[in-house]
Amino acid sequence: MARYGTTGRIAIYFAPTIASMAAPKVSEISAGVNLSDYVTRDGLKTPSSGNTIDAADIGSRFNKTAPGTYGGDAAEITAHRDSKSTTDLAWSTLPQDAIGFLIVARQGFAQSVTTGLGTKAGTPTVADRCEVYPVTVISRAANDTGDNETSKFTASLAITGEPAQDAVVAT
């Protein structure tokens, strides 16, 4: 087992189309925008909360539960702005109502067979592991200003279908 840190390694893409979320193609991911150098260190939130169902019965004093629904929470991306509109990539990629797929390779792409680790700038490679979320941007708003802070914004994304959290890149 090799534990790893995601800082400097995680690859985050926003792609317009993915035919199979469980097996996104190299070309589909590569057609997306690599946002890795724009997202703040704590700027990716992909929640997956769950609910329980009351399954208690009168024959026991124990309050039993059963699994219920899950999901429903918005994902969020907090990213740095760029002073030039031509290079303000994250801002221009995530306008309100943008529809696409958020692809997250926490180990990076071009994952080594030996270590399982890749890089944020690695080319997506067949057999790389990643997560794929179908999303629509709900809102995009500039963050409050702060002393000694870069200009940032936060985009909230509705996860519009069940994500593929164990996707494997295909040809």
Asked if residue 82 is part of any domain, the answer here is yes
- Residue 152's domain comprises 11-48+67-168
Q: What is the pLDDT of residue 48?
A: 86
Asked if residue 147 is part of any domain, the answer here is yes
Overall number of domains in the chain? 1
pLDDT score of 159 more than 80: yes
pLDDT digits (tens, 9 = 90+) for 83-114: 999 999 999 999 999 999 999 999 999 999 99
The secondary structure of 90-114 as a DSSP string is HHHHS-TT-EEEEEEETT-BS--TT
- Of 29, 4, 39, which is closest to residue 123 (Cα–Cα)? 29
Asked if residue 41 is part of any domain, the answer here is yes
Asked if residue 61 is part of any domain, the answer here is no
Tell me the average pLDDT across 75-89. Answer: 96
Q: What is the pLDDT of residue 81?
A: 97
Asked if residue 1 is part of any domain, the answer here is no
Asked if residue 124 is part of any domain, the answer here is yes
Question: What phi, psi does 91 have (nearest 5°)?
Answer: -60, -45
